[in-house]
């Protein structure tokens, strides 16, 4: 196997310390390995109150912790304030994926990430969310920029983690590490709509905690 030669990444605005909002191990795996290879000083911030139900949340979090420990990367386990998330989602229950409910969700998670970064001496923040081809990168980056706007000393890094084969390596790492394979975005409404689609195709509903990358 040919050894992967990575470009050396540098943080924007001469940044020294980065806070990585991670949504899950599969999406953050490539992001983490790329930053480790470049010697970037970073910490993982796991704040995802959208993930439903609790069983799914715990599996995704533990997978992320397992991978972070492999590289001795600090891991911040933030609150699972799902009631706050559901309150913010009121009136958006029937919105489609990539719609205004997703914008609300990204805003909520990034606002908390930016606040933590500001309070704990991080000068750059980014997220692993954008590496997924299922996500709208422009939508995510807009939310990131809004989140850091109140903090003059904090920069949102809008690096395109998909480029240069990043999305393919995300899958390769997931298979290598046998990560839990998530079958829906994460929230209750995503689970509902995914199961509705599966039913229309004659497929069984999602079973939590069963699928793993091989």
H or E element at residue 88: helix 82-88
**138 DSSP 8-state letter:** H
Residues in CB range of 176: below 8 A, 6 or more apart: none
Walking along the chain (214 residues) 10 residues at a time, the average pLDDT comes out as 76 97 96 96 98 97 97 96 97 95 98 98 96 89 98 97 91 96 95 97 96 92
Peptide bond into 53 cis (omega under 30): yes
Nearest Cα residue to 108 out of 187, 190, 185, 47: 47
Q: Record the tokens describing residue 63, joined without a space.
A: 């997978």
Alpha carbon distance, N-terminus to C-terminus of the chain: 19
The annotation places the binding site for [4Fe-4S] cluster at 23-24, 102, 105
The annotation places the binding site at 23-24, 102, 105
d(CA 53, CA 74) in angstroms, rounded, equals 26
- Order of strands, sheet of 124-127, starting from the edge strand that comes earlier in the sequence: 75-77, 42-46, 18-21, 124-127, 155-156
Q: Record the tokens describing residue 13, joined without a space.
A: 């605005």
CATH of domain 18-201: 3.40.50.620
Confidence (pLDDT) at 1 = 44
Confidence (pLDDT) at 135 = 87
Confidence (pLDDT) at 118 = 98
- Look at the chain and count its residues: 214
Residues facing residue 20 across a β-bridge: 44, 126
β-pair type (155-156, 42-46): unpaired
Confidence (pLDDT) at 3 = 62
Find out whether 49 and 82 touch, Cβ atoms under 8 Å.
yes
Tell me the CA distances in angstroms from 33 to 43, 149, 158, one per residue in order: 13, 28, 17
Confidence (pLDDT) at 63 = 97
Find out whether 208 and 53 touch, Cβ atoms under 8 Å.
yes
Q: What is the sign of the dihedral through the CA atoms of 156, 160, 162 and 164?
A: negative
H or E element at residue 113: helix 100-119
d(CA 44, CA 128) in angstroms, rounded, equals 10
CA atoms within 13 A on the CB side of 3: 2
Confidence (pLDDT) at 116 = 98
Confidence (pLDDT) at 89 = 98
């Amino acid at each position: 196997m040919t050894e992967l030669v990575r470009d050396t990444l540098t943080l924007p605005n001469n940044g020294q310390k980065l806070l990585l909002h991670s949504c899950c191990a599969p999406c953050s795996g490539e992001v983490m390995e790329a930053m480790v290879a470049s010697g970037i000083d970073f910490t993982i911030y796991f704040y995802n109150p959208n993930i439903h139900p609790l069983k799914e949340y715990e599996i995704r979090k533990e997978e992320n912790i397992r991978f972070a420990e492999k590289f001795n990367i600090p891991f911040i386990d933030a609150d699972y304030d799902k009631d706050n998330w559901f309150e913010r989602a009121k009136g958006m229950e029937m919105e489609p994926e990539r719609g205004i409910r997703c914008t609300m969700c990204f805003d909520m998670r990034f606002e908390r990430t930016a606040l933590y970064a500001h309070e704990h001496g991080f000068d750059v923040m980014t997220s692993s969310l954008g590496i997924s081809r299922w996500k709208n990168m422009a939508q995510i980056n807009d939310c990131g920029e809004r989140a850091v706007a109140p903090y003059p000393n904090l920069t949102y890094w809008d690096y395109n983690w998909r480029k240069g084969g990043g999305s393919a390596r995300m899958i390769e790492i997931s298979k290598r590490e046998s990560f839990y394979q998530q079958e829906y975005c994460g929230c209750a409404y995503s689970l509902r709509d995914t199961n509705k689609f599966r039913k229309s195709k004659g497929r069984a509903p999602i079973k939590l905690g069963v699928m793993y990358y091989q």
